[in-house]
A and B are shown apart, each in its own frame.
Chain A
């Protein structure tokens, strides 16, 4: 029972770590693309 609980807790934490890493990578990607798009829009004006 304890082992199963530990495993579930471990699984949940792995998921949290992976999801937050993906989230912050997406944020970084959004800043990268966002500024290029911003420059394109400004150039189009």
Chain B
């Protein structure tokens, strides 16, 4: 209670609810900023999705149909950048903004103005990046990995790409600092670390990863910039530099980045499965340690992305074995989720459906990752559609389904209204079927030798490409249901109770629905915190 009053005394600046455009432009309320992040992420999801549709349209049959190779390569590059930095990461930050203060009993994020700044960097970054489609030479086309020397051959879009990546990185770092500082300093008295919901834990660890690796990406692209404009030769062989060094630095960022996109989904699934199993989470502490272990291991596996560049046998063995090791904590999580459901009173509302699909399909992505981690096998799979299938199984039914599960879980809390569960169930089944039609055949294409990042292919790959494209169009169309369901919920949903799901635990469910503009202005009592803990 004392803490809550103290907070009021120090945050008079956002103690009232502003109206009109000022509410959003000058937003300091964590719920408003969370909403803006989520709307931005949803918009970028459809922009990146439109690019994916162009890719699948071109690949529907062999030969060049709709776009030239340069534009095709721009589409693959921009699709990745937009989906990773524009859709998935901002969606997680939006969910963090909405839920972390409510879940730890804090009145807001610790640094509200910084929070505003972190968000508003993003629209500028993506305007810059997307406007590169219209400059001479076209948008970046060398892949999202920005490998030199190819990336240095970009035209006018090169500095736009580098500046946009810097801005996205700065936004992520500032957002991560805010999350760490909020969790470490603004938890309600009695909210011990090992009482925190798993979503908060996974985000805390994600935030540490972000602080460690986003500056590494920024460093790498700064060096690209100086190589291009200031005559340095960090990555230029002609001047004594080493292009492979860029790959090492990039993947030192890139592999933890994969976990940045997936760990919060682990947290959400760990909230949803107990709720719809009506059982406490099995092995809460093991889950926390498993997430921490995965995060630690993510720093020592980066070179499995580049086995074929040539490296000593000892290094190959080290990175292969460390990659295999990640299966251990991941297995702990999968078995604990399964054990949570064991003999539970299960029901299959939309959040649970998405969480279960996550469990099955992310595991498929994990298994193909293990296959790719085996050095001699990787020499066969490298740069084929098998890799494309693998990481899309991790990121679409993994990260994207995790985000959708989270939105469907907390939407009644945010809006105070119930959504159309029948339509959301349709959204789930269409997504779950088409995501497999889209990506599963890509395993076959990869094993048969179809290279990735090409606009044309040999005729023997035609059939599975057609199937994959049909899956892509179906998946893309199914996603239009998502904003419609949310819009319908906001406009005409029936009122939601405070505890929208009968089996839900956690401080957020102790607040009324919709959550008040300023929640936990008085810190929750210890009894309430104990009641909210589902473990």
Q: List residues of A (1-45) whose CB comes within 8 Å of B's CBs.
A: 6-7, 9-10, 13-14, 16-17, 20-21, 24-25, 27-36, 39, 42-43
Show 23 residue pairs from A and B whose CB-CB distance is below 8 angstroms, ordered by the A residue: A6-B6, A7-B9, A10-B7, A10-B10, A13-B6, A14-B10, A20-B181, A20-B184, A21-B110, A21-B111, A21-B114, A25-B173, A28-B177, A28-B214, A29-B215, A31-B213, A31-B215, A31-B219, A32-B222, A35-B216, A36-B219, A39-B219, A39-B234
Quick check: A36 and B211 within 8 Å, CB to CB? Answer: no
Closest chain A CB from B246 CB (angstroms): 9
Partner of A27, one of B6, B7, B211, B249: B211
A30 proximity list for chain B (CB < 8 A): 215
Interface string of B82-110 (1 = CB under 8 A from A): 00000000000000000000000000001
Interface string of B143-185 (1 = CB under 8 A from A): 0000000000000000000000000000001001110110011
Interface residue tally for chain B (C-beta within 8 Å): 38
Quick check: A17 and B220 within 8 Å, CB to CB? Answer: no
Closest chain B CB from A28 CB (angstroms): 5
A13 proximity list for chain B (CB < 8 A): 3, 6, 10, 185
Closest chain B residue to A8 by CB distance? B6
A21 to B222, CA, bound (A): 24
A7 proximity list for chain B (CB < 8 A): 6, 9
A17 to B2, CA, bound (A): 17
B470 proximity list for chain A (CB < 8 A): none
Closest chain B residue to A12 by CB distance? B6
Give the B-binding residues of A (Cβ under 8 A): 6-7, 9-10, 13-14, 16-17, 20-21, 24-25, 27-36, 39, 42-43
Q: How many A-B residue pairs have CB under 8 A?
A: 85
B219 proximity list for chain A (CB < 8 A): 31-36, 39
Q: Is B245 an interface residue (CB 8 A)?
A: yes
B325 proximity list for chain A (CB < 8 A): none
Quick check: B2 and A43 within 8 Å, CB to CB? Answer: no
Q: List residues of B (424-446) whose CB comes within 8 Å of A's CBs.
A: none
Quick check: A10 and B6 within 8 Å, CB to CB? Answer: yes
Query: A20-B180, A43-B234 are contacts. A28–B111 as well, Cβ < 8 Å?
Result: no
Closest chain A residue to B233 by CB distance? A43
Q: Is B136 an interface residue (CB 8 A)?
A: no
